Amino acid sequence: MSDPPSLGRDDVAHVARLARLSLSEQELDMFTGQLARVIEHARDVSSLDVAGVPPTSHPIPIRNVLRSDEPCAGLDRDEVLAAAPDVEDGRFRVPRIVGEAP
């Protein structure tokens, strides 16, 4: 199998035009080198033998670190409402939203 053609400055300019990007000469040179390194890395990764490696969704095992969901006593209503800025009929009073009927 032959090596794929290397990435050139014209290729980067073409992709930039497709993406409607205006790149300076200096940017074209810089991005050509960067994109060539990215493509080379992708070639390196694709050449790895991963036949015996099981597919994973995460590189390290993940476990649930949250506590179990168990019912417990709630807050005291009077105590919570005492800390509210405005209360009406045993509930929080909030500003009316413009356009809503009273």
- Nearest of 3, 55, 7 to residue 31 by alpha carbon: 7
Is residue 59 included in any domain, yes or no? no
Contact indicator for 90, 77 with CB cutoff of 8 Å: yes
Range of the domain at 38: 9-46
Is residue 78 included in any domain, yes or no? no
Is residue 65 included in any domain, yes or no? no
Instruction: Report pLDDT digits (tens) over 49-84.
Output: 989 888 888 888 888 888 888 999 999 999 999 999
Which of the four pLDDT bands, split at 50, 70 and 90, describes residue 98?
A: confident
Contact indicator for 63, 57 with CB cutoff of 8 Å: no
Is residue 15 included in any domain, yes or no? yes
The first and second tokens of residue 102, run together, are 């009273």
Q: Can you tell me the distance from the alpha carbon of 90 to that of 81, in angstroms, rounded to the nearest whole number?
A: 7
Give the chain's domain count: 1
Instruction: Report pLDDT digits (tens) over 1-57.
Output: 456 667 889 999 999 999 999 999 999 999 999 999 999 999 999 999 989 888 888
Q: Can you tell me the distance from the alpha carbon of 16 to that of 44, in angstroms, rounded to the nearest whole number?
A: 25
What's 20's domain CATH number?
Answer: 1.10.20
Q: Can you tell me the distance from the alpha carbon of 54 to that of 20, in angstroms, rounded to the nearest whole number?
A: 40
